[in-house]
Every structure is written in C-alpha cells, then in structure tokens.
Amino acid sequence: MRVRPPQATKELRWFSPHSQLLDVTQRVIERIKPTREGYLARIPHAQGKFPARGALSCANLARGFVA
C-alpha cells in the first residue's frame, strides 16, 4: 500500500516555523552560499569524468558507495 505525502494546501496549512528557526536557516544559507555556488559550478565538469555505475562490477560498485 502506498502512502501519499500530505497535501501542502490542507494538512500542512497550520505549520508556521518559529522565527528563530527561520533566522538560523537564513544564516546557514548565507554562510554556505559561496561554497555551494562553487560546488554547483563543478558538477557539469565532473559528470563525464567518472565511470558510470552500470560499468562497475558489484565489488567496485559497493566500494564506490562506501567511499
């Protein structure tokens, strides 16, 4: 049986995060912005560098997940 996620317009309408939580979240977003932008810029370049998972043997695939 599949469980559907709650409808944001109905079940979660009552949710209002505490203002301190919003402040902390905003500070985290601002603090990681420079490194995240660099990370996102490197993704397209790195996509073609590594072997596809389908090309790895089972043992190497497992090691890849552990690393």
Q: Where are the domains of the chain?
A: 17-50
pLDDT above 70 (res 14): no
Q: What is the pLDDT of residue 17?
A: 73
Q: Model-level pTM?
A: 0.42
**What does the pLDDT read at residue 30?**
94
Condensed to tens digits (0 to 9), the pLDDT of residues 28-53 reads: 999 999 999 999 998 888 777 666 65
Angle at the Cα of 14 (from 10 to 19), degrees rounded to 5? Answer: 140
**What is residue 47's predicted lDDT score, i.e. its pLDDT?**
77
Tokens of 36: 């995240």
Q: How far apart are CA 49 and CA 37, in angstroms?
A: 20
